[in-house]
Amino acid sequence: GNSVTQMEGPVTLSEEAFLTINCTYTATGYPSLFWYVQYPGEGLQLLLKATKADDKGSNKGFEATYRKETTSFHLEKGSVQVSDSAVYFCALRGRSIGNQFYFGTGTSLTVIP
Amino acid sequence: NAGVMQNPRHLVRRRGQEARLRCSPMKGHSHVYWYRQLPEEGLKFMVYLQKENIIDESGMPKERFSAEFPKEGPSILRIQQVVRGDSAAYFCASSPPGQGGEQYFGPGTRLTVT
């Protein structure tokens, strides 16, 4: 079956520090992979995605590369800002009918000035 | 083009009452998905609907929960005889027709059962 395992938080970093949030997955076939971000009191917003092996998704300074050999999709950012404080969810979507998402448990990030 | 709309944003119910959560998909989207987020957890898939059809309800609790997506009007997630354990955020997502459609999430309804 499909599942996502995500690095547990919470994570606290100083402004301009380097961020890595680990994500590994188990899937049948070749899923699409996503990172979503959730700000306090809000719904999920798509941060970036990758649809096939070796694709790199990027947005707002965040990057993640679809690694089929290690079944991973780690999120990275070179220099975090206070405004990046949020909960980050790794997710996969299978290619079967329905295309439901399977989410990780989320990693809470707090960036302090 | 308005995004996915959910209402109410916050809903308080006493144990034993019914909760009705509404989701209006984006214009042109005919697929609706409901997810539940329990405190400190990720989102869990509940049900996938197309107009007038339930396609996949493998994540729905067997009792008290039901969902519909009528030909006209919003999708409704209905929880009968709510219990404290139903307190959660319920998110709706929609996608256009076709297998490759991106899912867009609504802001969620936060249900509190007292």
Give the number of beta-carbon pairs within 8 Å between A and B: 52
pLDDT at position B23 = 97
The CA distance from A5 to A24, in Å, is 5
Q: What is the DSSP letter of B84?
A: G
Sign for the CA dihedral angle at A51, A12, A106, A1 comes to positive
* Positions of E strands within chain A: 3-6, 11-14, 19-21, 23-26, 32-38, 44-50, 56-59, 62-65, 75-77, 86-93, 101-103, 107-112
Write out chain A residues lying below 8 Å of B102, CB-based: 46
Interface membership of A7 toward B (CB under 8 Å):
no
The pair of structure tokens assigned to A89 is 């969810």
Residues B67-87: pLDDT tens digits?
Answer: 999 999 999 999 999 999 999
Residues B21-54: pLDDT tens digits?
Answer: 999 999 888 899 999 998 777 789 999 999 899 9
B42 vs A103: CB contact, 8 Å cut-off? yes
pLDDT at position B79 = 98
CA distance A91 to chain B (A): 10
A98 vs B48: CB contact, 8 Å cut-off? yes
CA distance B74 to chain A (A): 18
